[in-house]
A and B are shown apart, each in its own frame.
Chain A
Amino acid sequence: MATSEAALHSPTGAHGHEGTYSGGIWSWITTVDHKRIGILYGLTALMFFVLGGIEALIIRLQLHGPNAGIVSPQVYNQLFTMHGTTMIFLALMPLGAAFFNFVVPLQIGARDVAFPRLNAFSYWTFLFGGLFLYSSWFWQAPDAGWFGYANLTSTQFSPGPGVDFWFLGLQLLGLSSLVAALNFAITILNLRAPGMKLMRMPLFTWMTLVTSFLMILAFPAITVGLVLLMFDRFFDAGFYNVAVGGDVVLWQHLFWIFGHPEVYILILPAMGIVSEIIPTFSQKPLFGYPVVVYSGVLIGFIGFGVWAHHMFAVGMGPIANSVFSATTMIIAIPTGVKIFNWLATMWGGKIRPKVPFLFAFGFIIMFIIGGLSGVMHASPPADLQQTDSYFVVAHFHYVLFGGSVFGLFGGIYYWYPKVTGKLMSETLGKWHFWLMIIAFNITFFPMHFLGLQGMPRRTYTYESGLGFHDLNLVATAGSFLLGASFLFFFWNFFRSLKKGEDAGENPWNAATLEWAIPSPPPHYNFDTLPTVRSRDPLWAEDGYEKPAADQEPEMPAGSGWPIVVSSGLLLLAIAAITSHLWLVGVGVLIVFVGVYGWSFQPVYR
């Protein structure tokens, strides 16, 4: 441990910087501080997580028994469309972005991201995109599925504004993600502290880098697909219209070229978090660091060559199905390697089963189940029975809930003390964990059986003679227990802000740089930039060095222009949905004024 530096790195003492978050609402609207933006991302994501969860509970209520009439078929279709879209674009991705924002600059020893105002722009565009999408509930929510398969999304089969809300909202969210991804890739490549070589970067930063490249490369595909859809819907273009020579399968390729990397965009940050938590709570460095890094890179890379495994039943023929089957099976290898390295990290360690560790461990044991069922439908003939059935619903919930959600909530428990300066309650955290992992399995494990018994997904009801009743009832009961488990989380989350014990700089005795500064960190993070000499700077003898500071560094001033540009874009989406040409003019004007003001505003005041 770098105890020799202890006296040097915090001129204001170990009690943190309450000033980091002080200031009125205006200071939050104009903030360009990555830590504040991270918190905004996190809170917004949690809000949408709750909304998506409520949608899921209504879905489960409707499916509790055969021929139930809790909601109409159309509302049911809207619910599952919004549930999927919400959880992917408005909850899990932004929760990942919350950690990228808060943690990555601290881990690499930087004072902020490369483009702080662009970072604020990403957040506001995400928020407005989410609110825009949710405002559809007051008119007509989209009901063509989160995957929006053409030609069900055409004006012929989906008249009304629902699908317009969906693709315009996704375009805003896509822009936000793309800008954020560029920002993070550039930050990680350029703003590392001296000595923080690529192969010394913490695993979470590494996975953020890989995820950023995935976003940069994957989002253009869906953007193109959505632009074609927009031309079809607004101007009758016919890209997906069979009657005029279009092709509906084109959409599926464009969507899944984005959609599969998207799965890794959701899981890799969680894997990064787990790769931080397991070593910390085993008190051992990560086993096989380079292998874990390379396997993450490899997963990202191969992730672009597997998209058509979502389409084995489309009729692509034996050659294409064989190739995509092979690539999909190959991706299981680096995934397995990661799991074995986590196992080896724990092996011979001194494991402290604190709440963050429980969630990370929950991630591993649940993700394995999702990975194994994934291998089952990597085999196209087997997939012909499984695709679009509840077996697949079970599979991807084991990956995205058992995986991503467990990992991301582990991350919340892990970094909460750094963000707030307070420890969360271990007791409430354990209640949350045990209730969540038990309820999660009661909810989703039966769905494997339902799928194999022939229950297709996206069906608002089922008939009584099909034998689906009992297991659906079990799943519904589990889902409400699962929802209840989060009450413990939110109680803990808000209670600890006031009543939590002081965390100090490094409550978990972790090895990475973010734990070398006070909790919460001062707004400039590091008064002087550290020089890093080890992969585990806080554990290694002489792992890093940080000269004493004689003054506070100057930080970029807040700016109101990013939110102006974002609101101009929001207005453009509103103009498109209401078909008001003059509103387009206003939106463009606001964007222009915003970009102009932004460009000529000095960074420092």
Chain B
Amino acid sequence: MPSKKATWRRGSWLVLGLVLVVGLAGCTGVLPQSTLHPVSDFGQRIDDLFRRIFWFAVGVFVIVEGLLLYAVFRFRDRGGEGRPEPVHGNTRLEIAWTLAPAIILVLIAVPTMKTIFIVDNPAPASSNPLQINVIGHQWWWEFEYPEQGIVTADELHVPVGRTVQLNLTSKDVIHSFWIPRIGGKRDVVPGHTNILWFTVDSAGEYPGQCAEFCGEEHALMRALAVAQDSATFRAWVDSVKGPAREPADSLAMQGKQLVVNGICISCHTIRGTQAKGIVGPDLTHVGSRQTLAATILENTPENMFLWITKNDSIKPGNKMKIPQLPADQVRKMVAYLQSLK
């Protein structure tokens, strides 16, 4: 029956066409979190491995799906008497199609194992890695640079060309640290310290986010890696390693009094003041950060005002539960916090 056959063919072409259209759509646009455009040795190793496996998979896909489609068209019932010959099996064929995938898997497994023993071990000591402690919180990231005496949040500054080792742990639930263009993710587990290391090879800003479901605001637990050439990185270290600057103008001065004598200090630290809370992000140099609220807001006075007054509607479930403060007080506090460059 040719009409049925035509429907059959049309249908499969339609499927194929759609797959292609969707596939092409995937290759356009700006992709700041793409795993396929690595900017570190770690990401590159994974990408090399993935591409190798991918092409094997494409080969297997084309051959097996091709044979299946061929069989279904070629051996369609075209009427006629009798039943097909009842073939029960063939030992040689069974051996062949057991061995063929086994060989392909060996070709995948060998480079896989080699890569595992690089990426799952700590950074080689000879590379003298820059140590950074990453601490996951619901729903933001804390970064400690123990050698430099820096504590900051959500924005991970790393030097280009130097090996960085992240030591990851969590203060509450399990998170997973993931900057896709730098490389794969690693879980951030309370009670455990995991390691992730890499050497970024080009300067730039690479967004990422938590990849293990960690509660209500998991989706907005984002992060930003800022990779800088070594001079810029050193300048950044110098600017943020000391205690907080004293405010210069009177508005900020009044703001400081409100912050360090108010509710803020139960959760936040501002080094050099009496604010020594350890629940929320360190604010010592909050004015120097580009973003607020796990990078979802640009760090402007207006956004900071919004964040202090309406954080629960920007990020429902957010842990900063504070009473409604008078707007003029908040404006002074923002002036102070913005001055903390």
- Kindly specify which of A178-186, A382-390, A412-420, A544-552 makes contact with the partner chain: A382-390
Identify the closest chain A residue to B190 (Cβ). Answer: A242
The reply on A434 being an interface residue by CB < 8 A is yes
Chain B CB within 10 Å — which of A389, A456, A458 has the most? A456
* 8 A Cβ contacts from B57-112 to A: 57, 60-61, 64-65, 67-69, 71-72, 75-78, 83-90, 93-94, 97-98, 101-102, 105, 108-109, 112
Q: B20 to nearest A CB, angstroms?
A: 10
The reply on B303 being an interface residue by CB < 8 A is no
Flag if A332 contacts B101 (CB, 8 Å). yes
Residues of A within 8 A of B316 (CB): 72-74
The reply on B208 being an interface residue by CB < 8 A is yes
A152-B173, A318-B121, A441-B18 given as contacts; is B213 within 8 A of A145 (CB)? yes
* 8 A Cβ contacts from B298-341 to A: 316-317
The reply on A454 being an interface residue by CB < 8 A is yes
The reply on B288 being an interface residue by CB < 8 A is no
Flag if B65 contacts A453 (CB, 8 Å). no
Q: B227 to nearest A CB, angstroms?
A: 16
Flag if B19 contacts A445 (CB, 8 Å). yes
A249-B189, A445-B19 given as contacts; is B214 within 8 A of A336 (CB)? no
Q: How far is the CA of A380 from the CA of B114 in the complex (A)?
A: 11
Residues of A within 8 A of B191 (CB): 242, 246-248
* 8 A Cβ contacts from A406-439 to B: 430, 434, 437-438
Within 8 Å by CB of B119, from A290, A384, A455, lies: A384
- Kindly specify which of B129-137, B151-159, B177-185, B234-242 makes contact with the partner chain: B177-185
* 8 A Cβ contacts from B166-190 to A: 172-174, 176, 178, 180-181, 183-187, 189-190
A249-B189, A384-B186 given as contacts; is B23 within 8 A of A449 (CB)? yes
Q: How far is the CA of A154 from the CA of B105 in the complex (A)?
A: 41
Flag if B176 contacts A388 (CB, 8 Å). yes
Residues of B within 8 A of A459 (CB): 209, 218-219
The reply on A603 being an interface residue by CB < 8 A is no
Flag if A456 contacts B209 (CB, 8 Å). yes
The reply on A346 being an interface residue by CB < 8 A is yes
Flag if A351 contacts B102 (CB, 8 Å). no
Query: Please, how many residues of chain B have a CB less than 8 angstroms from a CB on the other chain?
Result: 101
Q: B306 to nearest A CB, angstroms?
A: 15
Residues of B within 8 A of A72 (CB): 316
Within 8 Å by CB of B84, from A348, A383, A441, A446, lies: A348
Flag if B112 contacts A325 (CB, 8 Å). yes
Flag if A389 contacts B84 (CB, 8 Å). no
Annotate A289-322 by CB proximity to B: 1 below 8 A, 0 otherwise: 1110000000000000000000001110110011
The reply on B287 being an interface residue by CB < 8 A is no
Q: A478 to nearest B CB, angstroms?
A: 9
Flag if A313 contacts B22 (CB, 8 Å). no
Within 8 Å by CB of A381, from B45, B85, B89, B220, lies: B45
Chain A CB within 10 Å — which of B18, B185, B217 has the most? B185
Flag if A353 contacts B194 (CB, 8 Å). no
Within 8 Å by CB of A315, from B64, B77, B97, B195, lies: B195
Flag if B15 contacts A248 (CB, 8 Å). no
Annotate A443-475 by CB proximity to B: 1 below 8 A, 0 otherwise: 001101101111111111111011100110010
Q: How far is the CA of A387 from the CA of B211 in the complex (A)?
A: 8
- Kindly specify which of A214-222, A280-288, A567-575 makes contact with the partner chain: A280-288
Flag if B174 contacts A437 (CB, 8 Å). no
Flag if A389 contacts B211 (CB, 8 Å). yes
Q: Is the interface of A mostly helix, strand, loop or mixed?
A: helix
Q: A443 to nearest B CB, angstroms?
A: 10
Identify the closest chain A residue to B29 (Cβ). Answer: A467
Within 8 Å by CB of B101, from A336, A388, A430, lies: A336
Flag if A149 contacts B174 (CB, 8 Å). yes
Q: How far is the CA of A285 from the CA of B85 in the complex (A)?
A: 9
The reply on B120 being an interface residue by CB < 8 A is yes
Chain A CB within 10 Å — which of B105, B192, B213 has the most? B213
Q: How far is the CA of A150 from the CA of B180 in the complex (A)?
A: 25
Q: How far is the CA of A378 from the CA of B22 in the complex (A)?
A: 25
Residues of A within 8 A of B78 (CB): 350
Flag if B33 contacts A438 (CB, 8 Å). no
Residues of B within 8 A of A74 (CB): 216, 316-317
Q: A65 to nearest B CB, angstroms?
A: 14
The reply on B123 being an interface residue by CB < 8 A is no
Flag if A376 contacts B54 (CB, 8 Å). yes
A449-B22, A456-B211 given as contacts; is B117 within 8 A of A329 (CB)? no
Flag if A452 contacts B109 (CB, 8 Å). no
Identify the closest chain A residue to B106 (Cβ). Answer: A329
Flag if A329 contacts B109 (CB, 8 Å). yes
Q: Which 10 A-B pairs have the closest CB atoms?
A: A384-B184, A454-B33, A449-B26, A459-B219, A315-B194, A454-B180, A242-B191, A318-B120, A340-B97, A350-B77
Could you give 14 example pairs across A and B, Cβ below 8 Å? A157-B172, A283-B83, A313-B187, A315-B187, A318-B121, A344-B90, A351-B77, A353-B8, A353-B72, A372-B61, A382-B112, A385-B50, A387-B211, A461-B220
Interface, chain B (partner A; CB < 8 A)? 7-8, 11, 14-15, 18-19, 22-23, 25-26, 29-36, 45-46, 49-50, 53-54, 57, 60-61, 64-65, 67-69, 71-72, 75-78, 83-90, 93-94, 97-98, 101-102, 105, 108-109, 112-113, 115-117, 119-121, 138, 172-174, 176, 178, 180-181, 183-187, 189-192, 194-195, 207-220, 222, 296, 316-317
